[in-house]
């Protein structure tokens, strides 16, 4: 019998691949409310990008898992997904506090918010298992064993080539390290590229 679980979806960390796998192996998703689904065969609930302050109330009695990604690589992915051709322009918008809206989930959800928005509560990691997008296949296989799910290969979805007219400068890195300070503290130094 699978362990009851809650999948915390952090934008641009491999969620579409995991969602596709859940749809294939978890049974037809049952809508529990706006942007909230349950996969009956796996007893897995997902909240479609709800921040930690919102999904916490659903976590009782469930093994909570999510995935993170190197901050710089995630930002490159978001910039490419949103059609930016220049990292400098994208970082300038982040520095100015511009919201990068998640169009499917409404204009107030910031697609480029720090990963801690979804993964932490009161500056503490709020998930029982945190996999890394850079090790998606290996970490997902470990998760399947933990939850008693059938081990199957993940489909890889939403991969976009990133072509920018510029690269990371020291100043851009300082901006990112300032704006995403909470992520660097939460996820550790190994997520900070030098």
The CB-side HSE value for 10 (13 A sphere, CA atoms) comes to 28
DSSP string for 140-162: HHHHHHHHTPPP-PPP-------
Choose among 107, 105, 133: nearest CA to 119.
133
0.75 exceeded by the pTM?
Answer: yes
pLDDT at 191: 43
C-alpha distances (whole Å) from 96 to each of 52, 75, 77, 101, 179 are 24, 15, 19, 15, 10
Bridge partners (DSSP) of residue 67 are: 131
Q: Give residue-wise pLDDT tens across range 40-59.
A: 999 999 988 888 988 988 89
**What is the pLDDT, as a whole number, of residue 136?**
94
pLDDT in the model for residue 101: 64
Per-residue pLDDT tens over the stretch 56-97: 888 999 999 999 999 999 999 889 888 889 999 999 988 888
The fold adopted by the segment(s) 5-191 is Rossmann fold (3.40.50)
Over residues 152-175, mean pLDDT = 82
Residue, of 160 and 76, whose pLDDT is higher: 76
Mean pLDDT confidence for 19-24? 92
């Amino acid at each position: 019998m699978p362990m009851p679980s809650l999948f915390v979806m952090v934008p641009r960390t491999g969620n579409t691949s995991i969602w596709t796998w859940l749809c294939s192996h978890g049974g037809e998703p049952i809508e529990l409310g706006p942007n909230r689904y349950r996969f009956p065969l796996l007893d897995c609930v997902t909240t479609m990008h709800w921040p930690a302050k919102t999904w916490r109330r659903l976590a009782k009695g469930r093994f909570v898992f999510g995935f993170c990604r190197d901050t710089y690589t995630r930002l490159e992915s978001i910039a490419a997904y949103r059609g930016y051709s220049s990292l400098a322009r994208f970082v300038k918008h982040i520095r100015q506090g511009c919201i990068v809206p998640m169009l499917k989930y409404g204009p107030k959800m910031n697609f480029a918010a720090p990963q801690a928005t979804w993964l932490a509560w009161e500056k503490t990691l709020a998930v029982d298992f945190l996999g890394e997008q850079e090790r998606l296949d290996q970490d997902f296989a470990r998760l399947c064993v933990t939850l008693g799910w059938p081990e199957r290969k993940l489909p890889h979805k939403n991969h976009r080539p990133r072509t920018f007219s510029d690269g990371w400068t020291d100043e851009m890195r300082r901006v990112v390290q300032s704006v995403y300070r909470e992520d660097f503290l939460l996820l550790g130094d190994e997520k900070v590229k030098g």
